[in-house]
A = this chain, B = another copy of it.
Amino acid sequence: MVKIGILGVGTVGESVAKILEENGDIIEARAGKKIVAAKGVVRSLEKKRDVSIPLTTDPLEVINDPQIDIVVELMGGVEEPYALVKQALKNGKAVVTANKALLAYHRYELQELAGDIPFMYEASTAGGIPVIGALRTGLSANHIESIQGIMNGTCNYMLTKMINEGAQYDEILREAQKLGYAEADPTFDVGGFDAAHKLLILASIAYGLDAKPEDILIEGIENITQTDVAFAKEFGYEIKLLGIAKKVGEGVELRVHATMIPSESMIAKVDGVMNAVTVVGDRVGETMYYGPGAGGDATASAVIADIVDIVRGNQGPMLGYKKGLESGLKLLPKEQIVTQYYLRMDVSDKAGVLAMITSTLGEFGISIDSMLQKPVSDEGRAKLLFTTHKTQEAKMREAMQALEALDVVEGKIAMMRIEK
């Protein structure tokens, strides 16, 4: 019998305990041993919980219990769980976590510390979709060319609603909050930070690349309007919040932002709260992994998959590499990212404006790919929407500043990136 201790018995922890019991027969057959949730750690014993396992408020009762074989960390946060799982590893216990923030900051220290002790985290990225396993094992023959992931269900739900129902951002956000898909403070989701944590985890496995959230380009979906949605439809794009990792020479681009992608691509077809990750390998080509990115049972499914794998005697290597790569890839500075851009700006509707704008862009070596001009009800103004050919991020930012300084451009320019 294998005994599990659970740090943090919230929605996911309850599901883990329940599934281990309710699906105990098949889990035991697959793992070869009975797996039992033996103890749970909670902040307060007052709150009623839907589990029958013994609870305590002291994490050390799990971490230091010689009866516990595997510690499952589902607390959230960064430094507190970090201290606890470090202690668990020192005590020789295998660790399973669903905590993307912990890994976004401390995955390399944890790998070092774990050594030969299993440390698994399938549930940290894209919830119930076994994409960590796919990337770490299933695609190991490949140099990874790119990853594109819809890894935040809140954003995808909101964008799908905006596109399919024509609703405004604020309206949809309130609805998502009411449904429990978005937090009261939605920044972590809609600002792209949640997706960025997950992207960093995938990038480590794909490229052996160490980076922190602060190092990479992160933008959210907060500035998207129905004007952008209409433009995207007109030109055959869907709008998705993507986490993107892409190998460019010896560099790797890592970025999270709202993205226009061709409607016919598989990942563009992923709607609602679902997640999907597309991985392009140099040998296998494009593969995609699709499923629920959140939810108690779906996330618990991934947590238990890790537990079963550990009980079977399998393990990592945690971040996918048994030994270091000699020619390590480097994170490409944000400013050097090259992609296509979509811009939206309000301009004075008078002769010569378009020439002024295109010539300003031209000064930065930026050329226009497609364009749409829309009258604004407000007299004397127009909305100018266009996409550019491939341009370097630094150039685009300079060009946007120069455009915003023009008298004919009113207010801020909205920008989105395009991936084909």
**Interface residues, chain A, CB within 8 Å of chain B?**
15, 19, 23, 25-33, 122, 128-130, 133-134, 137-143, 208, 266, 269-270, 281-292, 295, 297-298, 300-305, 308-309, 312-317, 320-327
Q: What are 20 A-B contacts with C-beta separation under 8 Å?
A: A23-B142, A25-B327, A27-B141, A31-B140, A31-B322, A33-B322, A130-B287, A137-B305, A137-B308, A139-B301, A139-B305, A140-B304, A140-B308, A269-B269, A283-B301, A284-B292, A284-B297, A284-B298, A287-B290, A289-B290
Beta-carbon contact of B292 and A285 below 8 Å: yes
Shortest CB distance A410–B (Å): 41
Beta-carbon contact of A304 and B30 below 8 Å: no
Beta-carbon contact of B325 and A208 below 8 Å: no
The 9 closest A-B pairs by CB, nearest first: A130-B138, A32-B322, A287-B291, A141-B304, A284-B301, A128-B284, A288-B290, A314-B314, A140-B308
Shortest CB distance A385–B (Å): 28
Closest to A301 in B: B284
Which of A19, A130, A312, A315 counts the most chain B CB atoms within 10 A?
A130
Q: How many copies does the complex hold?
A: 2
Residues on B with C-beta less than 8 A from A282 are 23
Closest to A131 in B: B138
Residues on B with C-beta less than 8 A from A283 are 15, 19, 23, 128, 297-298, 300-301
Q: How far is the CA of A321 from the CA of B32 in the complex (A)?
A: 7
Shortest CB distance A131–B (Å): 8
Shortest CB distance A291–B (Å): 3
Residues on B with C-beta less than 8 A from A29 are 208, 321-325
Residues on B with C-beta less than 8 A from A303 are 141
Beta-carbon contact of B26 and A137 below 8 Å: no
Residues on B with C-beta less than 8 A from A298 are 283-285
In-complex Cβ contact of A309 among B137, B287, B300 (8 A): B137
Given contacts A285-B298, A287-B129, A287-B289, contact A141 B19 (CB under 8 A): yes
Q: How far is the CA of A312 from the CA of B23 in the complex (A)?
A: 29
Residues on B with C-beta less than 8 A from A143 are 23, 26
In-complex Cβ contact of A141 among B23, B292, B315 (8 A): B23
Residues on B with C-beta less than 8 A from A208 are 29
Beta-carbon contact of A321 and B290 below 8 Å: no
Closest to A270 in B: B266
Given contacts A288-B290, A314-B314, contact A320 B130 (CB under 8 A): no
